[in-house]
Amino acid sequence: MKIKKSVFSIMIAICLIGGALLGAVLTGRPSVGEADSKQAKITATGTGIVNTKPDQAKISLGVLTTAPNAEKAQQQNAALVNKVNDALSKAGIAKDKMETKGYSIWPEYNYPKDGDNKPPTISSYRCSNTLIVTVDDIKKAGELIDKAVAAGANQVENIQFQKKDPAPQQREALQKGCKEARLKAEAMAKGLGVKLGEIASVEESSAAVPLSQNRYGSMMKDEANADLGSASTDIQPGELEVSATVTVVFNIK
């Protein structure tokens, strides 16, 4: 008898819950999730930009040698690279500021004339060694390039300018982006005749300092000196632009 009463009580509870849900549907009362999805919102995106001067440079230097065989090309290359490293060290560049980026040896071919039924033959071998040098004093970048070329470097691929610590500029750019997003949202709200409510969500895009690059081609030491004499390399880094984009969603009152 007690079991029947318990079952009967459960059935009554289920009916009451079902009736409440049915009543909510019939009267059009939305649930919490539905109410939030129907909340009118304004979405605005703002971008903050901060210009700053770089305080660090990364110089890509290379040594390219050519010889009748691979061993000779490698030996000549190693000797020149050692001279370049010594010259940079004497100029104040620490060993941990010099990093090998790439190293390769490959053959050069002589191809037969059209119609000759002959395979191509190896004419020589080339050896290339690329070094990345980090310079903390940008004013010395041109001087370091000159010393590296004088020691045997015959390729200067590019120079990348950057900030050692870009965090302060990134935060400033984010703040500017947030302010611009609010100003845009306020302008839209005024145009629509409504008022902004609480912030529903905020999303930021990554704020990064782009690398400003100066590119150079292959520069053989004897050709450069023949044209320039004792002229020194002048490096002008310019400015970096730090940007951050923020998307803000506002509820409408």
pLDDT at 16 over 60: no
Q: Is residue 233 part of a domain?
A: no
The residue out of 162, 195, 222 marking a domain boundary is 162
Domain hosting residue 48, numbered range: 40-53+165-210+238-253
Identify the domain boundary among 95, 128, 162: 162
Can you name the residues that pair with 63 across neighbouring β-strands? 129
Check residue 221 and give its pLDDT. 44
Is 154 buried (19+), middle (13-18) or exposed (0-12) by CB count in 10 A? Answer: buried
Confidence category of residue 93, pLDDT binned at 50, 70, 90: very high
- Is pLDDT above 70 for 19? no
Q: Which two tokens stand for residue 142?
A: 């041109």
CA distance 233 to 85: 19
**Distance in angstroms (rounded) separating the CA atoms of residues 172 and 48:** 8
State the CB neighbour count (10 A cutoff) for residue 130: 19
Of 18, 16, 152, 167, which Cα lies nearest the Cα of 85?
Answer: 152
The confidence band for 215, taking pLDDT boundaries of 50, 70 and 90, is: low
Query: Are 65 and 147 in a shared domain?
Result: yes
3-class DSSP state for residue 157?
strand
Q: Report whether pLDDT(222) > 80.
A: no
* CATH number for 127: 3.30.70.2970
- The answer to whether residue 188 is domain-embedded is yes
User: Is residue 109 domain-shared with residue 156, that is, in the same domain?
Assistant: yes
Indicate the range of 71-75, 133-137, 152-156, 222-226 predicted with least confidence: 222-226
Co-location of 151 and 203 in the same domain = no
Average pLDDT over residues 166-182: 96
- Verify that 170 and 48 share a domain, yes or no: yes
Task: Give 130-145 pLDDT, tens digit per residue.
Answer: 999 999 999 999 999 9
Of 142, 3, 164, nearest in space to 97 by CA: 164
The answer on 9 and 130 residing in a single domain is no
CB 166 within 8 A of CB 209: yes
Is there a domain that residue 47 lies in? yes
**Total number of domains constituting the chain:** 3
pLDDT at 232: 75
